[in-house]
DNA sequence: CCTATAATTCGAAATATGTCGAAGTATAGT
DNA sequence: ACTATACTTCGACATATTTCGAATTATAGG
């Protein structure tokens, strides 16, 4: 039933991850954090740590953590510890592939 | 929080609608039912009625009806009675706009 | 080794979702 | 008017999701 997938990640899981306003806001922030022409996470200065993503979101830290885990489980983002912080950036191919999925014709 | 929208329909609602395997299957069927170069619903022979969409889905009619309502509420599809049947087709602009949302750069 | 900072895990509560079957509405044909 | 077909609405129930606070882990720096 979940036969539509990208790199083994079912599309339904991706859409479920993006169906929550908080998670969509997080995704959107990561979408727009890289300089034009580059991919998010390529240059490490253009990643966001969890704390930075938290700003202006008005949810508990545990809730934020839960949402990031969902985005990660869906295959939408990558996470990597960097000292006390954990950096987040978009899974590199995901924008191209989702854009392609909806592409008409 | 749901500030990202297309034609007044919040993106979260669209993604929520697509986050269910049955609904994604319905959407996918409508996505691919039109002849290349045309938009779904332009030529009325290329619409699916509810009964046709039901085929091979193994859910109760009432469940199908519920799912189609969700797709409609999210602004993803249009529905129109045609005699005893009700025809469904994609909201014309939705593929372009969703594809655009994910477009990198 | 102790402390402060950053983030996660766990458990609980409220709310939302997916599903069905029974009953209801709409339409076409007889 | 009656019947069959096509689909929807309603009510109920099981399961999933969202959210929080308290407790926990991981790291860096004195």
Task: Tell me the pLDDT tens digit for each residue of B19-55.
Answer: 999 999 999 999 988 655 565 566 655 789 999 999 9
Residuewise pLDDT in 10s, chain A (105 residues)? 457 899 889 999 999 999 999 999 999 999 988 655 565 666 655 789 999 999 999 999 999 999 999 999 999 999 999 999 999 999 999 999 999 999 987
Q: Is residue B2 part of a domain?
A: no
Residue ranges making up the domain that contains B26: 9-102
Give me the number of domains chain B comprises. Answer: 1
Q: Which nucleotide is nearest to A58 (CA to C1')?
A: D19
For residue B3, being part of any structural domain is answered with no
**The total number of residues written for chain A in this structure:** 105
How do residues B54-101 score in pLDDT, each as one tens digit?
999 999 999 999 999 999 999 999 999 999 999 999 999 999 999 999
Say how far apart CA A14 and CA A47 lie, in whole Å. Answer: 21
Q: Is residue A2 part of a domain?
A: no
Asked if residue B2 keeps its beta carbon closer than 7 A to nucleic acid strand C, the reply is no
Give the residue from chain A lying closest to B1, CA to CA. Answer: A21
| A68/D26 CA-to-C1' distance in Å | 18
Q: Are A77 and A28 in contact (CB under 8 A)?
A: no
CATH number assigned to the domain comprising residue A90: 1.10.10.10
Minimum-distance CB partner of B104 among A16, A95, A103: A95
At B1 the pLDDT is 45
Is A51's CB less than 7 Å from nucleic acid strand C? yes
CB B53 within 8 A of CB B26: yes
């Amino acid at each position: 039933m979940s036969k539509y997938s990208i790199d083994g990640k079912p599309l339904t899981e991706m859409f479920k991850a993006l169906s929550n306003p908080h998670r969509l806001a997080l995704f959107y922030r990561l979408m727009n954090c890289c300089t034009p022409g580059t991919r998010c996470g390529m240059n490490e200065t253009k990643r966001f740590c969890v704390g930075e993503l938290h700003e202006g979101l008005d949810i508990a830290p545990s809730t934020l953590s839960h949402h990031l885990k969902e985005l990660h489980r869906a295959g939408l983002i990558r996470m990597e510890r960097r000292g006390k912080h954990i950096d987040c950036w978009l899974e590199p191919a995901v924008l191209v592939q989702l854009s392609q999925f909806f592409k008409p014709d």
